[in-house]
């Protein structure tokens, strides 16, 4: 019996000796000169003894590593900590405070170089300062390999980390808040800034930030003048943010900002950021081209673009070889995923024509654009549609059709095109396209109208009185001709309407004096 | 003295007439004046108008389609039913048949529609003679109330 009691006692003693030894702070440690020396991987506990208590700890770093600094929660206390570096005194590097009571604080991915660092623990700023001498906090600093990671603090454009082209760099969405960020648009947002250099311009760059669970990433690309070249749209949590084909028109430094929306943090999974650069060959859009002023010039017959992110709008600028009004055929061929739309703008920024005839995956076109150069084409997709992987193609081709007088918009009597001679060549240029033409003659004249419909489009042809009221209408089958004669009392209108939903067809009308 | 009085009366009368002249309503051309025929080398003229129109709302824009010798020859000018509408042509010297068809503007539809047969002028035809060196003028007056047409011929 005695033997058993002895064995149990031995076991209990052994078990108690297995418990981790808790190291407590040694007060006073209220200033950095009184800081307690701690080691990586060794937790240390302490108390917020007074409302204004500061507990300083110091740690010596011998090689570049990433610190993972965590402070456990204290019930009822909004705890916070600051990381400092010894540098002829101490310099604050990072203040970590999630502004919540009874919540732990953590900073992961904090890159440190050889030297002495300090961590001060205190009450956070948000709530009323209270002490807690019953519940201790525990400070633990772990380290990991710093290779390929961001180097905090990189919270501003001035402290941006150099980003090598084509080499991924990782970073954490940690901590949740940055109290020193006083930017009115995004106050207290924890931002990671990176910079890369472009030696020869123009080039286009692609930037990708991988998705992280629970994080809705935000990505900005900024030039050296502070102009935002790209600002991401919300893509949802855990989804990558990608900026594709961003045009960099001048050599110099560019900046990338990565942040989490709504002060979210993830201390477990890092994001990966990569920037690649390629030369510009005039065959793709240059983002940002979301406004007329930054429109991508079209110098070849076709140019490709992407609708990405959601609500992306692409402007193109066509200069042509002369400013005279000419006929152009404008086509946008989308990938199968997009219902594409486009519009034509003049140099004053006025929308002249908007084209939306077809559905998802189908080509949109404007076969008879009559305009002087330069003009602008705006391309976008229906709300909520985007496609990063597949591009659309915009084609602008000058066309030459004799006697073409169908200048859109001529959908009403007031917009009617004047008929200068004895022939009208017109286009059914969109679904239900109605074309008005005005006739002017001296006195009463009997005219014979020989109407030939487009190959696949039956049309109706009407002649009106001088006020635009229809006198006669004739229906012409697709590809066929029909003749109508009518007396024009000095002035009259011709109206051509398609009789099915087909478009992109040329009709001809010959106006004769005799049958 | 009597002579002076006479002069004063004349001057006053002239002044009054001047004032009445300036205050007379200014003539304004109709929105679409009926276009007078311009062809000069014609020997036939048809003039059509309607009477017994109850109120201006019933005075519609219209024209008459003209068939001569059963061939579609064209139409008259367009005007209100109460207005004269003209058709002119050069015809061979002979007896000819004119048949007319009334078309009225349907403003809601924005087009002219043939008037129902019941409301077409009756008779809707007339025989007339034409000569080489004279203009035959056929005047048709349609009574809208009774739908009867009166034809008269005038050779100039």
Q: Give the separation between CA A355 and CA A379, rounded to whole angstroms.
A: 10
Of A14 and B33, more confident: A14
Q: Tell me if chain B has a CB within 8 Å of the CB of A468.
A: yes
Instruction: Spell out which residues of chain B touch residue A471, defining contact as CB-CB under 8 Å.
Output: 75, 111-112
pLDDT digits (tens, 9 = 90+) for A157-175: 999 999 999 999 999 998 8
Q: Tell me if chain A has a CB within 8 Å of the CB of B135.
A: no
Query: Closest Cα of chain A to B130: distance in Å?
Result: 22
Q: What is the mean pLDDT of chain B?
A: 81
Instruction: Spell out which residues of chain A touch residue B32, defining contact as CB-CB under 8 Å.
Output: 465-467
Let me know if residue A259 belongs to a domain: yes
pLDDT digits (tens, 9 = 90+) for B47-86: 999 999 989 999 999 999 999 999 898 999 999 999 999 9
Q: Tell me if chain A has a CB within 8 Å of the CB of B61.
A: yes
Q: Identify whether residues A186 and A267 lie together within a single domain.
A: yes
Q: State yes or no: pLDDT of B38 exceeds 70.
A: no
Let me know if residue A2 belongs to a domain: no
Q: Which CATH number does the domain housing residue A163 bear?
A: 2.60.120.380
pLDDT given at position B44: 93
Instruction: Spell out which residues of chain A touch residue B61, defining contact as CB-CB under 8 Å.
Output: 469
Query: Closest Cα of chain B to A279: distance in Å?
Result: 60
Let me know if residue A221 belongs to a domain: yes
Smallest CA–CA distance from B64 into chain A, residue: A471
pLDDT digits (tens, 9 = 90+) for A443-464: 888 899 999 999 999 999 999 9
Let me know if residue B38 belongs to a domain: no
Let me know if residue A387 belongs to a domain: yes
Q: Identify whether residues A58 and A105 lie together within a single domain.
A: yes
Q: Identify whether residues A220 and A303 lie together within a single domain.
A: no
| Residue after which a domain boundary falls, among A279, A306, A337 | A279
Let me know if residue B37 belongs to a domain: no
pLDDT given at position A12: 52
Residues with Cβ within 8 Å of A284's Cβ and at least 6 positions away in sequence, in order, are A204, A245, A303, A304, A305, A391
- Write out the residue range of the structural domain in which residue B92 sits: 44-155
Q: Identify whether residues A384 and A479 lie together within a single domain.
A: no
Instruction: Spell out which residues of chain A touch residue B39, defining contact as CB-CB under 8 Å.
Output: 443-444
| Residue after which a domain boundary falls, among A121, A145, A169 | A145
Q: Tell me if chain B has a CB within 8 Å of the CB of A442.
A: yes
Q: Six-digit token pair at B81?
A: 């039913």
Contact A245, A251 (CB under 8 A): no
Q: Tell me if chain B has a CB within 8 Å of the CB of A440.
A: no
Quick one: what percent of chain A has pLDDT higher than 70? 96
Instruction: Spell out which residues of chain A touch residue B38, defining contact as CB-CB under 8 Å.
Output: 442-444
Instruction: Spell out which residues of chain B touch residue A468, defining contact as CB-CB under 8 Å.
Output: 110
Q: Do A469 and B111 touch (CB under 8 A)?
A: yes
Q: Give the separation between CA A229 and CA A201, rounded to whole angstroms.
A: 15
- Write out the residue range of the structural domain in which residue A502 sits: 413-512
Let me know if residue B112 belongs to a domain: yes
Instruction: Spell out which residues of chain B touch residue A490, defining contact as CB-CB under 8 Å.
Output: 35
Q: Give the separation between CA B43 and CA B133, rounded to whole angstroms.
A: 7
Q: Identify whether residues A296 and A388 lie together within a single domain.
A: yes
Contact B9, A415 (CB under 8 A): no
DSSP string, chain B: -HHHHHHHHHHHHHHHHHHHHHTSPPP---SSPPPPP---S-SEEEEEEEE---SGGG--EEEEEEEETTEEEEEPPPEETTS-EEEEE---SSEEEEEEEEEEEETTTTEEEEPPGGGS-BS-EEEEE-BTTB-EEEEEEEETTTTEEEEEEEE-
> Domains in chain B: how many in total?
1
Q: Do B39 and A444 touch (CB under 8 A)?
A: yes
Write down the pTM of the prediction. 0.66
pLDDT band at A378 (very low <50, low <70, confident <90, very high): very high
pLDDT band at A120 (very low <50, low <70, confident <90, very high): very high
Q: For A199-203, B8-12, B104-108, which range has the lowest pLDDT when averaged over its residues?
A: B8-12
Let me know if residue B15 belongs to a domain: no
Let me know if residue B8 belongs to a domain: no
Q: Give the separation between CA A509 and CA B8, rounded to whole angstroms.
A: 72
Q: Do A471 and B77 touch (CB under 8 A)?
A: no
Q: What is the mean pLDDT of chain A?
A: 89
Let me know if residue A152 belongs to a domain: no
> Domains in chain A: how many in total?
4
pLDDT band at A308 (very low <50, low <70, confident <90, very high): confident
Instruction: Spell out which residues of chain B touch residue A473, defining contact as CB-CB under 8 Å.
Output: 111
pLDDT digits (tens, 9 = 90+) for A37-95: 999 999 999 998 888 889 999 999 999 999 999 999 998 888 999 999 988 888 988 88
Q: Tell me if chain B has a CB within 8 Å of the CB of A489.
A: yes
Let me know if residue A433 belongs to a domain: yes
pLDDT band at A415 (very low <50, low <70, confident <90, very high): very high
Mutate which: B31, B67, B73, B75, vs A, most A CBs within 10 A: B75
Q: Tell me if chain B has a CB within 8 Å of the CB of A136.
A: no
pLDDT given at position B6: 57
ipTM: 0.74
Mutate which: A462, A467, A469, vs B, most B CBs within 10 A: A469
pLDDT given at position B14: 47
Q: Tell me if chain B has a CB within 8 Å of the CB of A434.
A: no
Q: Identify whether residues A363 and A421 lie together within a single domain.
A: no
Q: Identify whether residues A507 and A417 lie together within a single domain.
A: yes
Question: Could you give the 3-state DSSP secondary structure of residue A411?
Answer: coil
Q: Give the separation between CA B94 and CA A311, rounded to whole angstroms.
A: 77
Q: Identify whether residues A378 and A449 lie together within a single domain.
A: no
Q: Give the separation between CA A219 and CA A244, rounded to whole angstroms.
A: 12
Q: Give the separation between CA A71 and CA A45, rounded to whole angstroms.
A: 9
Smallest CA–CA distance from A471 into chain B, residue: B112
Q: Which CATH number does the domain housing residue B143 bear?
A: 2.60.40
Give the DSSP H or E segment for A16.
Answer: helix A2-18
How many CB contacts within 8 angstroms connect chain A with chain B? 39
Q: Tell me if chain B has a CB within 8 Å of the CB of A383.
A: no
| Residue after which a domain boundary falls, among A347, A369, A399 | A399
Q: Do A487 and B110 touch (CB under 8 A)?
A: no
Q: Identify whether residues A300 and A343 lie together within a single domain.
A: yes
Q: Identify whether residues A192 and A248 lie together within a single domain.
A: yes
Query: Closest Cα of chain B to A443: distance in Å?
Result: 6
Q: Do B105 and A469 touch (CB under 8 A)?
A: yes
Q: Six-digit token pair at B27?
A: 């003539």
Instruction: Spell out which residues of chain B touch residue A462, defining contact as CB-CB under 8 Å.
Output: 111
Locus of tokens 């240059």? A286
Q: Do A490 and B35 touch (CB under 8 A)?
A: yes
pLDDT band at A101 (very low <50, low <70, confident <90, very high): confident
Q: Tell me if chain A has a CB within 8 Å of the CB of B112.
A: yes
Smallest CA–CA distance from A465 into chain B, residue: B78
pLDDT given at position A214: 93
């Amino acid at each position: 019996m005695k033997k058993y009691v002895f064995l149990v006692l031995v076991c209990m003693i052994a078990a108690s000796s297995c418990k981790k030894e808790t190291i407590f702070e040694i007060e006073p440690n209220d200033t950095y000169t009184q800081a307690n020396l701690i080691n990586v991987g060794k937790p240390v506990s302490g108390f917020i003894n007074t409302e204004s208590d500061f507990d300083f700890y110091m740690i010596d770093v011998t090689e570049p590593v990433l610190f993972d600094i965590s402070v456990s929660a204290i019930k009822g206390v909004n705890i916070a900590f600051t990381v400092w570096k010894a540098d002829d005194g101490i310099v604050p590097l990072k203040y970590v405070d999630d502004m919540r009571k009874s919540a732990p604080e953590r900073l992961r991915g904090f890159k440190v170089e050889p030297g002495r660092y300090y961590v001060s623990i205190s009450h956070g700023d948000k709530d009323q300062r209270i002490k807690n001498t019953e519940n201790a906090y525990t400070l633990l600093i772990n380290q990991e390999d710093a290779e390929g990671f961001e180097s905090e603090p990189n919270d501003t454009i001035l402290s941006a980390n150099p980003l090598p082209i084509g080499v991924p760099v990782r970073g954490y969405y940690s901590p949740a808040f940055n109290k020193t960020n006083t930017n009115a648009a995004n106050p207290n947002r924890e931002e990671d800034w990176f910079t890369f250099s472009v030696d020869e311009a123009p080039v286009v760059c692609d930037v990708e930030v991988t998705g992280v669970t629970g994080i809705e990433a935000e990505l900005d690309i900024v030039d050296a003048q502070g102009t935002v070249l790209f600002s991401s749209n919300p893509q949802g949590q855990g989804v990558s943010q990608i900026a594709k084909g961003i045009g960099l028109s001048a050599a110099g430094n560019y900046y990338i900002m990565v942040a989490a929306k709504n002060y979210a943090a993830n201390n477990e999974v890092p994001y990966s950021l990569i920037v690649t650069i390629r030369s510009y060959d005039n065959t793709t859009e240059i983002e940002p081209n979301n406004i007329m002023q930054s429109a991508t010039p079209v110098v070849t017959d076709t140019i490709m673009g992407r609708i990405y992110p959601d609500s992306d709008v692409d402007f193109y600028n066509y200069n042509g070889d002369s400013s005279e009004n000419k006929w152009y055929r404008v086509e946008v061929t989308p990938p199968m995923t997009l219902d594409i739309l486009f519009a034509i703008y003049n140099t004053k920024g006025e929308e002249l024509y908007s084209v939306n005839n077809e559905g998802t995956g189908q080509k949109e076109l404007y076969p008879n654009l009559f305009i002087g150069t330069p003009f602008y084409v705006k391309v976008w997709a229906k709300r909520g549609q985007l496609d990063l992987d597949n591009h659309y193609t915009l084609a602008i081709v000058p066309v030459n059709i004799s006697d073409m007088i169908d200048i859109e918009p001529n959908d009403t009597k007031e917009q009617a095109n004047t008929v200068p001679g004895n022939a009208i060549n017109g286009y059914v240029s969109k679904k239900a396209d109605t074309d008005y033409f005005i006739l002017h003659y001296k006195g009463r004249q009997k005219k014979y109208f020989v109407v030939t419909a487009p190959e696949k489009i039956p049309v109706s042809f009407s002649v009106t009185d001088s006020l635009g009221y229809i006198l006669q209408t004739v229906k012409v089958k697709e590809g066929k001709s029909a003749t109508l004669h009518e007396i024009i009392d000095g002035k009259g209108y011709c109206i051509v309407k398609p009789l099915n939903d087909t478009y992109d067809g040329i009709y001809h009308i010959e106006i004769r004096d005799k049958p | 003295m009597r002579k002076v009085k006479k002069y004063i009366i004349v001057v006053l009368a002239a002044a009054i007439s001047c004032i009445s002249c300036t205050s007379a309503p200014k003539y304004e051309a109709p929105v679409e004046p009926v276009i007078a025929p311009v062809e000069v080398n014609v020997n036939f003229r048809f003039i059509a108008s309607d009477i017994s129109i109850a109120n201006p709302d019933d005075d519609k824009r219209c024209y008459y389609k003209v068939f001569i010798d059963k061939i579609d020859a064209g139409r008259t000018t367009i005007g209100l039913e109460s207005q004269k509408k003209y058709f002119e042509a050069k015809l061979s010297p002979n007896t000819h048949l004119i048949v007319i068809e009334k078309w009225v503007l349907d403003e809601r539809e924005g087009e002219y529609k043939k008037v129902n047969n019941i409301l077409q002028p009756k008779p809707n035809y007339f025989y007339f003679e034409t000569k080489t060196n004279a203009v035959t003028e056929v005047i048709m007056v349609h009574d809208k109330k009774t739908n009867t047409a009166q034809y008269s011929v005038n050779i100039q």
